[in-house]
Structure 1
Amino acid sequence: MEFCKEIMKPFEAKKDFMEDMIASGIEQNRKGYIYLNFVDKEGKPVNGVKVKAVQKTHDFKFGANLFMLEEFEKEEQNEAYKKHYADAFNIATLPFYWSDLEPEQGKPRFAKDSPKVYRRPAPDLCLEYCEANGIEPKMHCLNYPTFAPEWAKGSIDWEKQCLEKRFKELSERYAKRIPMWEVTNETFYPHIPRHGNFFGQPDFVEWSFALAEKYFPANKLVINEAHCWVWNRVQKDRAPYYMQIERAMLKGARIDAIGMQYHMFYTKEEAIKETAIFYDPEQMWSIMDTYAKFNKPMHITEMTIPVYSENPADEEMQAQIIRNVYSLMFAHPAMEGILYWNLIDGFAHNAVPGDMSRGENMFYGGLLRYNFTAKPAFELLKELIHKTWHTEVELQSETNAVSFKGFYGKYDLEISTDSGKTTKTIHLNKDMFNKLTITLGE
C-alpha cells in the first residue's frame, strides 16, 4: 500500500489543477451542440416531436495493439480476446514489422493463411476482424529500422531501393483500407549495426516522409517517438523531438499527426523516482500544449501502466493511474486518440508466453490478466468510454426543433410524432456546424 501511495503522489499534489483541466477540457473540447429541425416530404415543419438520441460511436479514438489476434492455442481464448477488444475499442494498431512481415525477400505474409509468426497476425486477417467489428485499422510502422530484415540491409542505395518497394507494395494493397500510417518510429535510439546504414543519415526522417507522401497521398501520416523523448523533457520547444518535427516540416515533410508513446517501463524499484515527472499533471498538460503548437492532432500511440503483480492493491493503482492519465489526455484539445499497448498479460514483447519474469511481461502491464479476466483498469476504461463519456438524451418540443449537447460521434435517433416513429442516424461532428434538417415520412 505504501508503494501505491508514493506512486500516486504527483497526481495528489496537483489534484485541483488536474480535476479543473479535466472537467473544463472535456466539456469544451469533446462535446458540442447539435440543432435538429424536422419537416415532412413537402418541406413543412412537423411540430410536437419527441426525440431519443443514443450515442453509438466515439469520434475520439480508443484502442490497443491487435498483436494477439488468433494467436492463442485454444479457440475459446481467441474468441475471448476478440470479444474483449471489440467491447472496448474503436481503433487497432496492426503489426507491419518488416522483418516479420517479409522475413524472406519477395514473400510477404499478407494473406490470412500466411505462416504464423508470434505476435504478428497477417494484415489480411487483422483487416477482416477490424472491418467486421467497425474498428479502424492503424499501420505500425513503415520505416522502423529496429525491425528491418537482414536481406534489406546493405548500402544506403540498396536500403532505399528496398524501402521504396515496400512502400509501393503496401500502398497498392492497403492504402484504401488503412487510413493512418506511422512513417517513422523511435529515431532517437543510437545508430547500431542492426539498424542498417540509412538510419544514420541526416535526412532519414525527411526522406521517409517524402516517400510516404508519394505512395500514400490520401492517408494520414504519423511520426512516432518513445516516451523518454517526450514527457520528461522540460525544454518545451527546444526538446529534441519537437525540434526534429519542426526541422522535418520546415524541409517539406508532410506530417499529419504527432505520435507519442507512454510506456512506464521501469522496475518496481525504479518506479517511484522515474515515473514522478510522467505522472505530474501540470507537466503532462504543458507537454501537450507545446506539441499542439504544430496545429496537428496528437496521438498516444502506445501506453503501458505497470502493475508488477496480480496483487489487488497494485491492480487498483493501475486503474487509478489510467483514470487520471486518460482523462487528462482526453481533455486536451489537440489529442485525437489514445492507444494502450498490450491488452493481455503474459503475451508481451521479448518473452515466451506466460513467463512473467522476462521482457515486457515482467511489468504485468495488460488490461486483462493471463487467464483473460478483466483487471479493474479494463472495467474502468469501458466505464469511461461507454458510460461516463457517453450521451443519451430524450427531448420533447412543441415546435419542429430540438437541440442537445453531446460527445462527438454518431447517434441513433428515435423520432416520435403523431404520425408514428422514425429512426435516423446522425453524426455530431467537431469540425462542422451541426444544424440538420431531417425529413420525416420518406
Structure 2
Amino acid sequence: MGQLNEWAHRKASKTIKLVDASGNPISGKNVHLTLTNHKFLFGCGAFDAVEVANKSVPAERLAFLEEKLELYLDVFNSATLPFYWARFEPEKGKPQTNELQAAARWLKERNMSVKGHPLCWHTLTAPWLLEMSNEEILKAQLDRIERDVTDFKGIIDTWDVINEVVIMPIFDKYDNGITRLSQELGRIGIIKEVFAKTKECNPNATLLLNDFNTSINYEILIDGCLQAGVPIDVIGIQSHQHQGYWGREKLEEVLDRFSYFGLPLHFTENTLTSGHIMPPEIVDLNDYQIKDWPSTPEFEERQAKEVEEMYSILFSHPLVESVTSWKFSDEGAWLGAPAGFVRKDNSPKPSYEVVKRLIKEDWSTNVTVTTDENGVLSFEGFLGEYELTCEEKKQSFTLDKNNPDIIQIVI
C-alpha cells in the first residue's frame, strides 16, 4: 500500500476563501499554510512537568529538567501525568491537587493535550484503604474519582479510568484494597462503578480502559463491559517491549483483534529499549532488577529503526488516535531500562531524530498556495491546527474531516 493511501484518513482536502474585514476577496496573494499541532496525539509520560511547574527542585536540577522538557515540547503534543493514589494522596485527605493542577496548566499553556493516569489501580493504590471494609473502599474510590475528576475538569479531560483489570482480582504480590474490592465486585463490576462515576463527574471526558494484557482475556473483558453498557470511549493498549520489539506481525495482529470493537485505540505506554533485551524467561517484568542497563550506540540504532516502523504502522491504522512512549528520557525510567528518546544527560538519541522527522516533516503540512481572483485556494493537509499567513497577517484555523467544504477566513 502506498503512503498516500496509508495516510488518507489522516488528511483532508479543503477550500478556503480569504476576505478582508469588509468582505472583499483577497485575490492573487501567496498564502502560507503550516500545521502547528497534529490532531493525532504523540505523547510521553511527562512526570517531570510536576517539578518544573512547581519549581520544587534546586535551581541546577530545575534548569536540567527545563532543558529536557524543551526537547520534549519541540516534538510531542500530548502528555500523561501521574495520579497514582499512593503518591497523590499518601495521607488520607491530603491530595497533591495543587501540584498536579500546576503541572497540567503548565502543559496546557504549551498547547499539550493532557491525560491523567490512573484513577483506579491495584498497584500504587492508597495504603490506608487496607484499614477499611470493602464497602468503605468502594466509597473512598468513588469519592476520589468525584474529587479529582471535578477538580481537574477543563485542564484534564482524558483519563485512564482503571488500569490492568485483567490481573486485578488475582494479583497476589501484596495485599491491597483495590484487589480486595475487585474480588468482591468482579472485573466488570468494578469497571462499571468507576466508569459510571467518572462519566457522571465529567460527561464530556474521554474515558479509557487500559491494560498490558493483549491476550483474548482482555478482549473478553472489553466485550463484557460493552455488553454491560460501560461507557468506554477508548481502548488503551500498553506495549512495554523490554523483552524485544513486537515486530510488524504481532503489532498488526494486535491491531486487527482490538479493531473488532470499532473503538479508538490508544497505545498508552510504549517501551522500546536502546540497551540489551530483557531475558525471555522473565514472566513479570518487575522481577528483572539489575544495577545498570546501559544504552549503547549499536542498540540505539536498533531502537531508532523499531520506533520508525512501529510509529509508521500505528499512524497508518485508521482506529489508532494516540501513541505514548512511557519515558521521554532514560533518567528514572521504569526498571532502569534505557527506553527514552534522550539519554540521561539529555542528549538526543537517533530515535529522537527519527520521531522528530516523522512528526515534523514526513507527517506535516507546510505549503504555499496562491488565491484566485475570488480569493479562493485549495489544499490537502494533515488534520490538526494550522496557522495561515498572508502578507504578514496571521490567522489560526483547524483542519478536520467535519469542516465545511469551504472555510471563509477574514484577515
TM-score, normalised to structure 2, is 0.86
Question: For residues 65 and 338 of structure 1, what CA distance do their matches in structure 2 show?
Answer: 11
Instruction: Check if 1:305 corresponds to 2:272.
Output: yes
* Bigger mean CA deviation after superposition, 399-408 or 76-85: 76-85
1:427 alignment partner in structure 2: 398
Whether the aligned pair in 2 keeps the contact of 1:138 and 1:181 (CA below 8 Å) is yes
Q: Which structure 2 residues correspond to residues 395-410 of structure 1 after superposition, within 5 A?
A: 395-399=369-373, 400-410=375-385
SS at match of 1:85: helix
- State whether residues 40 and 321 of structure 2, in contact with CA within 8 Å, keep that contact through their aligned partners in structure 1: yes
Change in Cα spacing, 1:150 to 1:310, as seen in structure 2 (3 Å) is closer
The 5 Å alignment of 1:15-164 reads 20=1, 24-26=5-7, 28-69=8-49, 70=51, 74-112=61-99, 123-153=100-130, 154-164=132-142
Q: Which amino acid aligns with 1:291?
A: F
Aligned partner (choices 154, 159, 162) of residue 181 of structure 1: 159
Q: Secondary structure at the match of 1:88?
A: coil
Alignment of 1:4-403 (within 5 A): 20=1, 24-26=5-7, 28-69=8-49, 70=51, 74-112=61-99, 123-153=100-130, 154-189=132-167, 190-192=170-172, 193-196=174-177, 197-200=180-183, 201-202=185-186, 203-226=189-212, 229-230=213-214, 233=215, 239-266=216-243, 271=244, 275=245, 278-279=246-247, 281-308=248-275, 309-349=294-334, 360-361=335-336, 363-399=337-373, 400-403=375-378
Q: How many residues align?
A: 376
Report deviation, 1:396. 1.6
Q: CA deviation at 1:171?
A: 2.4
Of stretches 323-332 and 365-374 in structure 1, the one that deviates more from structure 2 is: 365-374
- Over 3 Å counting, the alpha-carbon distance change for 1:129 and 1:429 in structure 2 is same
2:283 aligned partner? none
CA apart distance, 1:187:
1.3
C-alpha separation in 1, matches of 2:120 and 2:111: 27
**Counterpart amino acid of residue 414 in structure 1:** T
* CA gap 1:204/1:63 in 2 versus in 1, 3 angstroms: same
Q: CA RMSD in A?
A: 1.9
Match of 2:274, as an amino acid?
V
The answer to whether the 8 A contact 1:138-1:178 is kept is yes
CA distance in 2, matches of 1:176, 1:327: 31
CA distance in 2, matches of 1:223, 1:431: 27
Measured after TM superposition, the shift of residue 216 of structure 1 is 2.2
The whole-number CA distance in structure 1 between the counterparts of 2:306 and 2:93 is 45
Deviation of 1:76 after TM superposition, in Å, equals 2.4
Distance in 1 separating the partners of 2:4 and 2:372? 33
CA shift, 1:410, in A, is 1.4
Q: Which segments of 5 or more consecutive residues in structure 2 lack a partner in the other structure?
A: 276-293
Aligned AA (1:436): I
- Checking the alignment, whether the CA contact within 8 Å between 2:365 and 2:382 is kept in structure 1 is yes
Tell me which amino acid in the other structure corresponds to 1:106: G
State how far apart, in whole Å, the 2-side matches of 1:403 and 1:392 are: 14
Say whether the 8 Å CA contact 1:345–1:364 is kept in structure 2: yes
Q: Secondary structure at the match of 2:369?
A: strand
Alpha carbons 2:330, 2:338 under 8 Å: kept? yes
- Matched with 1:7 is none
| Cα offset, 1:332, TM superposition | 0.6
Amino acid at match of 1:47: S
Q: Distance in 2 between matches of 1:21 and 1:258?
A: 28
For the structure 1 residues 261 and 109, does the alpha-carbon distance in structure 2 shift closer, same or farther, using more than 3 Å as the test?
A: same
* 1:143-175 Cα distance to aligned partner (Å, 9 max, x none): 111121121233220110111210111123112
Q: Distance in 1 between matches of 2:10 and 2:359?
A: 12
Shift of 1:21: 6.9
Cα 1:432–1:372 change in 2 (3 A) is same
Q: Secondary structure at the match of 2:38?
A: coil
Unaligned segments of structure 1, at least 5 residues: 1-19, 113-122, 234-238, 350-359
**Secondary structure class of the residue paired with 1:246:** helix
**Contact map agreement 2:146 2:197 (CA 8 A) in 1:** no
Q: Do the aligned residues in 2 keep the contact of 1:298 with 1:334 (CA within 8 Å)?
A: yes
**1:195 maps to amino acid:** N
8 Å contact from structure 2 (residues 88, 95) kept in 1? yes
Residue 146 of structure 1 contacts residue 194 of structure 1 at CA under 8 Å; is this kept in 2?
Answer: no
TM-aligned CA deviation for residue 43 of structure 1: 4.0
Q: Percent identity?
A: 27
Q: CA deviation at 1:23?
A: 5.3
CA contact (8 A) 1:36 1:436 kept: yes
SS of 1:247's equivalent in the other structure is helix
- The CA distance in 2 between the partners of 1:23 and 1:318, in whole Å, is 26
Tell me if the contact between 1:21 and 1:331 (Cα under 8 Å) persists in the aligned partners.
no
- Residue 77 of structure 1 deviates from its aligned partner by 1.1
